[in-house]
Amino acid sequence: MKILDWYVFRKFVKTFFFVILIFVLVVLIIDIVEKIEYFRKMKPTWVEIVTQFYFNYIPYLINLVSPLLIFIAAVFVTAQMASRTEIIAILSAGVTFWRFFRPFLIASSIFAVITFFLTGWIIPNANKVRVNFDIEHIKGKEIKAFRNLHIGIAPGVYAYMQDYQNYSQVGYRFTLERIEGNKLLEKLEAPTITWDSTKRKWRMDRYVLRKFKGEDEELIFCEKPTDTTLNINPEDFADKHLFQEKLTFDELDAYIALLRQRGSEGVDLYVTEKYARYTYPFAVIILTFFGVLMASRKNRRGVGAQIATGFVLAFVYILFYILATKAIATSGSMPPLIAVWLPNTIFVLLGWIMYRIMILNDEKLKNIVTGEFFKNRTFLPKIKTLFPFYRHKTIS
């Protein structure tokens, strides 16, 4: 990079970290005030609060709002340069807009790569500690008793428990069925099933196994304790609070494969989480482009108006992104892969339109966007030749 590139690059990076610092300080003060009563009630030590919660909460918080913060930094730096007529001097020297944007692109690409590794591995491992602290000291542990549990163990194999208590890890009225097509082939019944944490296996005190062959039925009774290995464990009934955020890419792939093997519902939630982590870094680059594009022209209303306009656009993008990843994809109304890429696709198209209008001064495209294109009276003679019955009134 040349002197101009390093000048813009350093200015952009410094502003970004300054915005992060201010944002984190403000949010931490608000969060501590909000949670102080929980800390007094649950009585964790300050060392635990700092090392287990806030030390892991800060990277999560920065990553969560990094596209918005980098957008603010891009708008602020570009608007400041525009107010000092630096951009006019740069463009007048023959530098194209894309050449001016290059240091912003390099910086945002570096931040996007960092974001990818943060969301893929670093933050999920930090969330394991943070979320467990949240469950134990803020949200509070819940003792649950589940009723009428139906779980897919493998394709064609289904488990059922009439009652399960997570604190004792005991299930009552347990059945295990193997079905092929619409036919029941085997059914195992046990009054209780208990998790052995030492062997990491389930234990049945006794059971009855029924085997169906056509109209014949074979009964097998077992009155002695028996260990069995099932494709479920007590963690499947544990608190699922932010569970998907605690999984790294590798763990997420393994859990999705496990759910599909079981034939369980709710796979879309984890598939959407996986795809969203791939698309999230692109939001950093897209919003950087919008920030530079919107603030590159000197505005009579000052930097504040450009930052305000930028905030609106960034919030629209983020709300659209949340809607696509959380609502559309998980509801099943659209394939998760299409839903998570939809916001980026639409805003890339919107960015191209804004670039054509604001930088290249494409009047035709501007008229189409504003609707002036369709109000042009030159269309009327063509309409009259196509539709002779059409008559328009002359406007005086």
- pLDDT tens digit string along 108-137? 999 999 999 999 999 999 999 998 898 888
The mean pLDDT of 193-214, rounded to a whole number, is 91
Tokens describing residue 366: 């501007």
- Give dist(CA 394, CA 396) in Å, integer: 6
Tens of pLDDT, residues 150-166: 888 888 888 999 999 88
The answer to whether 176 and 187 have CB atoms below 8 angstroms apart is: yes
The answer to whether 311 and 69 have CB atoms below 8 angstroms apart is: no
Model pTM score: 0.82
The mean pLDDT of 190-213, rounded to a whole number, is 92
| Beta strand segments in 74-206, E | 145-154, 157-165, 170-180, 183-196, 201-204
The answer to whether 164 and 145 have CB atoms below 8 angstroms apart is: yes
Residue 105 binned pLDDT confidence (cut-offs 50, 70, 90)? very high
Position 56: which residue type? N
- Give dist(CA 194, CA 173) in Å, integer: 11
pLDDT over 90 for what percent of the chain?
A: 47
Predicted local distance difference test score (pLDDT) of residue 301: 65
Closest Cα to residue 108, out of 198, 176, 175, 13?
Answer: 13
- Give dist(CA 108, CA 335) in Å, integer: 29
Predicted local distance difference test score (pLDDT) of residue 392: 47
378 pLDDT more than 70: no
State the DSSP code for 121: I
Average pLDDT, the chain: 86
Tens of pLDDT, residues 276-322: 999 999 999 999 999 998 888 766 666 666 667 777 888 888 888 88
Tokens describing residue 35: 């949670």
Residue 228 bridge partners (DSSP): 202
Task: State the residue for tokens 């969060």.
Answer: 31
- Who contacts 206 (Cβ-Cβ below 8 Å, separation ≥6)? 190, 191, 221, 222, 223, 224, 225, 226
Predicted local distance difference test score (pLDDT) of residue 376: 56
- Who contacts 191 (Cβ-Cβ below 8 Å, separation ≥6)? 172, 173, 174, 205, 206
- Give dist(CA 108, CA 13) in Å, integer: 9
Tens of pLDDT, residues 330-361: 677 788 888 889 999 999 999 999 899 888 88
Q: How many CA atoms lie within 13 A of 165 on its CB side?
A: 6
Task: State the residue for tokens 């077992």.
Answer: 222
